[in-house]
Amino acid sequence: MIESELFGHEKGAFTDAISTRQGKFELAQGGSIFLDEIGDMSLETQARVLRALEEKEFQRVGGTRSIKIDVRVIAATNKDLGKAVEKGQFREDLYYRLNVVLLRLPLLRERKEDIIPLAEFFMAGKADKISPRAQQMLMAYNWPGNVRELKNCIERAAVLGDGEIIHPEDLPYTIRKGGKVIPSPLESLDRMEEDHITRVLRFTNWNKSDAAKVLGVTRQTLDNKIEKYKVKK
């Protein structure tokens, strides 16, 4: 299927190929094609891509006619292709064919100054601001998933939050734990319970019956906790 996406196919080339279709290389004629996560490409597809780049022509899947191309290829990967070549997972000839101009984007943890501006960009229209304590957690976390992980984190926090401020309890547990900010040594169990109850109530839009089910307690118990901690909408 990836070869069909890249090079197109002829009618009847495979099941469901009910018509001829142009591939991405053909559509990019005279321009640029961006190949994302190229390190995940199979060796068979790598061979075909290399052939197309070397010969500047290809055939559609199921076709016999050669199609000339003139495209600029931009490829991206989060893998170490040098090591992949050593392990036989990536073709050495394709690696050197692509590695003409190399641009390395630093990991998010290597550019901490970008974390908060990016977080604020991702929450635009979903929340108003990020609390100082939540910002500390975001800055302290290692971000193994880089910008994608940050984007998912902020969007999730905005959904679980009150729509105004992203609080520490709105962030995923891995970030609260990885940030080594919460739970702090001085934070009581009562405070942790209060924060959790508040977050669940916001998540259920303050439907106490639904919140009690999520918390695994009776409605009466939840009412007692709300009264104890003076939790307000």
Q: Residues 121-178: pLDDT tens digits? A: 999 888 888 988 899 899 999 998 899 999 999 998 988 777 788 988 888 888 887 6
What size, in residues, is the chain?
Answer: 233
Domains present along the chain, CATH in parentheses? 2-98 (3.40.50.300), 108-229 (1.10.8.60)
pTM greater than 0.75 = no
> What mean pLDDT do residues 213-227 have?
90
Per-residue three-class SS string for 70-121: CCEEEECCCCCHHHHHHCCCCCHHHHHHHCCCCCCCCCHHHCHHHHHHHHHH
Instruction: Identify the residue whose tokens are 């591939």.
Output: 23
**pLDDT for the residue numbered 178:** 67
Q: Looking at the predicted structure, is the pLDDT value of residue 188 above 70?
A: no
List of residues 6+ apart from 116 with CB closer than 8 A: 130, 135, 138, 139
CA dihedral 119, 77, 179, 121 (to 10 degrees): 0
179: pLDDT confidence band, cut at 50, 70 and 90? Answer: low
Instruction: Identify the residue whose tokens are 């040594």.
Output: 185
More confident residue, 78 or 189: 78
pLDDT for 14-61, tens place per residue? 777 788 888 899 999 999 999 999 999 999 999 999 999 999 998 888
Highest mean pLDDT range out of 88-92, 182-186, 227-231? Answer: 88-92
**pLDDT for the residue numbered 182:** 44
Is residue 32 within 8 A of residue 71, CB to CB? The reply is yes
**pLDDT for the residue numbered 151:** 94
